[in-house]
Amino acid sequence: MTTACDVLVVGAGPVGLTLANLLGQQGVDVLVVEREHELIDYPRAVGIDDEALRAMQTAGLVDEVLPHTIPDQKIYMVNGDRMILSEVNPTTREFGWPRRNGFVQPLVDQVLLAGLDRFPNATARFGAEVTDLAEDQDGVVATLANGETVRALYAVAAEGGASPTRKRLGISFEGETRPSDGIVIDVANDPIGTPHAVFGGDPARSYASIALPHGIRRWEFTLFEHEAADLVDSDEFVFGLLAPHVPDPAGLDIIRRRVYRHHARIAGRFRHGRIFLAGDAAHVMPVVGGQGWNSGIRDAFNLGWKLAAVVKGLCADGLLDTYETERLGHVTQMVAVSLGMAKEMTDHDPVKAAERDRIAANRTPEEREAQKRQAFKPQPRFDRGVVVHTPLPAFKTLPARDVPRLAGSIFPQPPATDADGAEMLLDEATGQGWRVITWNNDPTAFLSARRRAVLDRLGARFVQVVPETQLPWARKQAAPGITLVGDLGGESSLRAWFDARPVGAVVVRPDHVIAAECLAQELDGVLGKVFEAARIA
């Protein structure tokens, strides 16, 4: 028996399920196969960031995800004497959502799985193990353990760090594995009851104590090299770990306990012909940075719109090469940051711990504020790929100032209004997909018929942003097909964004990345370069 689909996703974890939802939205026929018989329910990620929440918003699932989150969760980094080394508490909303959120991953994974029910063209099958995955001139063919075959145009391996697909393809997975394991203990009826998280860099034994939604408390402890993994099953050992943290360890309602390894590895490549690696199959990192889950969602978000465009015949296959081009650099940065944080907080050398404490104590107020803002977290920024870097204009009507060019970075999502003045987040006001956004101008006035035809084929939105006060007038004047957005003003508004840089037009990709920015009169020519970079016919 042979099943056919456009895209085969191997692995029903958060990355595979997010990708399937995004493809399902676009009308792509997608099948997810998972060797397990149900979703994994053991301890994994505990932090979801603003970029991932925006991806959930794009997938139409953020309202179902939010009940399983703790917004703006503060983190205290402390030493062995419980003195605060640094505080992480970013409270801005650049992308429309809190930058740090605690969450319960198994419940969010359930939301992602249920989301597939919205699409007749998206299916998940459990108890379906892929034993072979091969290419031919027409696509890929997967062989399942029961002898069934699945034929697809493309396949995405998102089956975890031990990825059989990656190993079968002979793709390297370079990096390191930390010498000591970790032990995770999840407890119901949170005996602490505080909303924040604490990471303890105690040279005697490092730990983390994290409040999670629905009254769950997570503890993580270092398991030393001489300690056997099966100690996790010993009540005496586990209660001993918890004794410095709660009055009565034996009285805790322990949900689960598990040992895990700290890896920091990146695949040698993310694409092998028609097969792609995503999530942990492509990269793994220590949990201290809280970016493993989020990095996988970024993979799905980057790859999803590109696969849909190629499968639907809107773009040439070469577009898919930009997945690795764009994701590899940022993943490499994130793995390095996570590894550095893990070494800083889990190093049990008293001399090194004392030096860390001394450095922390001597940080300037500016350095402390940077830590608080989470400035150490690298933001995605693509120099190559579906990005067009235009020269800085040098016209006399523009101030001469040195401002960063933002092509390749994520476009912000401030509150705005729709054409009727109803307040909402920007993506809701503009709609999803490709967007051409201009300040106080009709973007189509700057487009040739040729460019307009391509954008119409892509389903692009033409967005005219005006001050909210101008909406009644703009509604009467707006040309057919224009999406009007009202700007609310203020420091985080779109007007402030345009005020800060010498551009009046922005081309935004379906994953909210700025493909190009330019003066309004340059828009038609710049779009031609964007189409070339995206391999758009």
Per-residue model confidence (pLDDT) at position 137: 87
Which pair of structure tokens corresponds to residue 309?
A: 């465009």
- CB contact at 8 A, 188 and 311: no
Q: Which residues contact 270 (CB under 8 A, 6 or more apart)?
A: 276, 277, 278, 282, 323, 324, 327, 328
Find out if CATH 3.40.30.10 is the number for domain 415-533.
yes
pLDDT in tens, 109-140: 999 999 999 999 999 999 999 999 999 988 99
Indicate if the pLDDT at residue 340 is higher than 90. Answer: no
Residues 217 and 254: their CA atoms lie apart, in Å, by 9
Q: Give the 3-state secondary structure percentages of the chain, helix then strand then coil, rounded to 5.
A: 35, 30, 35
- Is pLDDT larger for residue 281 or for residue 377? 281
Q: Which candidate, 309, 277, 320, 311, places its Cα nearest to that of 296?
A: 277
CATH for 2-43+102-167+264-372? 3.50.50.60
Q: What is the DSSP letter of 525?
A: H
Per-residue CA distances from 132 to 142, 155, 167, 168, 380 (Å): 6, 12, 11, 8, 34
Q: Is the dihedral of CA 163, 164, 170, 174 positive or negative?
A: positive
The angle at the Cα of 12, spanning 8 to 16, to the nearest 5 degrees, equals 60
pLDDT in tens, 349-403: 888 888 888 988 889 989 888 888 776 777 788 999 999 999 877 777 777 677 7
Q: Which residues contact 159 (CB under 8 A, 6 or more apart)?
A: 10, 11, 13, 16, 35, 130, 165, 281
Instruction: State whether residue 108 is helix, strand or coil.
Output: helix
pLDDT in tens, 282-322: 999 887 666 889 999 999 999 999 999 999 999 999 999 99
Burial 473-483 (b: 16+ CB within 10 A, else e): ebeeebeeebb
Q: Where are the alpha helices (DSSP H) in 116-163?
A: none
pLDDT in tens, 134-182: 999 889 999 999 999 999 999 999 999 999 999 999 999 999 887 778 8
Indicate if the pLDDT at residue 43 is higher than 70. Answer: no
The per-residue pLDDT of the chain, averaged, comes to 93
First to last CA, the chain: 36
Give mean pLDDT, residues 57-62: 98
- CB contact at 8 A, 130 and 91: no
The angle at the Cα of 302, spanning 389 to 158, to the nearest 5 degrees, equals 150
Instruction: State whether residue 214 is helix, strand or coil.
Output: helix
Looking at the chain, which residues constitute the CATH 3.50.50.60 domain(s)? 2-43+102-167+264-372
Strand order in the sheet with 100-103: 47-49, 100-103, 69-71
- CB contact at 8 A, 160 and 68: no
- Which of 58-62, 203-207, 243-247 has the weakest average pLDDT? 203-207
Indicate if the pLDDT at residue 328 is higher than 90. Answer: yes
Phi, psi (rounded to 5 degrees) for 32: -105, 125
Q: pTM to 2 decimals? A: 0.94
Residues forming a β-bridge with 198: 76, 209
Looking at the chain, which residues constitute the CATH 3.40.30.10 domain(s)? 415-533
Residue 40 binned pLDDT confidence (cut-offs 50, 70, 90) = confident
Per-residue CA distances from 330 to 119, 173, 343, 447, 514 (Å): 32, 17, 20, 33, 16
Q: Is the dihedral of CA 188, 192, 193, 194 positive or negative?
A: negative
CB burial class (10 A; 0-12, 13-18, 19+) of residue 524? middle
Per-residue CA distances from 86 to 245, 461, 521 (Å): 20, 43, 47
